[in-house]
């Protein structure tokens, strides 16, 4: 069974201070790696899907990368509106196994 581990649990950054969030998993194979953003009181919002080691995807200040055992979500020059919990998940046949998330706070 897939195990998905995210680190750190929480991260506080100054506005404009770039950093990375980590997602590691135990089972390799043909599964997608998903990143979601979750704001308080809302459901997860889809950000990226990655399938192959070496694959990268970008959206505004976010870039997701994938290796054989882990994925990174890089945040460049973040703004306060990027504050949220970021969840990663592994998926096979549409079933997702989520990590516990990283709670990101961007301080103005």
Which parts of this chain interact with another protein (CB under 8 A)? 4, 34, 41-46, 49, 87, 89, 94-101
Q: Which two tokens stand for residue 74?
A: 């890089």
CB of 15 to another protein, least distance (A): 26
Residue with Cβ nearer another protein (60 or 94): 94
Distance in Å, CB of 42 to another protein, minimum:
5
Instruction: Read off φ and ψ for residue 80, nearest 5 degrees.
Output: -55, -35
Residue 29 and residue 69: Cα distance in Å, rounded?
Answer: 10
Q: Which is nearer to another protein, 69 or 95 (CB)?
A: 95
Shortest distance (Å) from residue 26 CB to another protein: 15
Question: Phi/psi zone of residue 94: left (φ > 0), alpha (ψ -120 to 50 degrees), beta?
Answer: left
Nearest CB to another protein, comparing residues 18 and 52: 52
| Block residue for tokens 């009181």 | 41
Virtual CA dihedral for 25, 63, 44, 4, nearest 10 degrees?
10
Smallest gap from residue 91 Cβ to another protein (A): 9
């Amino acid at each position: 069974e897939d195990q998905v581990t995210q680190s750190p649990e929480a991260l506080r950054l100054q506005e404009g201070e770039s950093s990375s969030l980590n997602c590691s998993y135990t089972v390799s194979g043909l599964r997608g790696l998903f990143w979601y953003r979750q704001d308080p009181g809302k459901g997860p919002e889809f950000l990226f899907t990655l399938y192959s080691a070496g694959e990268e995807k970008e959206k505004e200040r976010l870039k997701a990368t994938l290796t054989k055992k882990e994925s990174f979500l890089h945040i460049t020059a973040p703004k306060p509106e990027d504050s949220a919990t970021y969840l990663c998940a592994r998926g096979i046949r549409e079933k997702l196994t989520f990590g516990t998330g990283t709670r990101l706070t961007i301080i103005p």
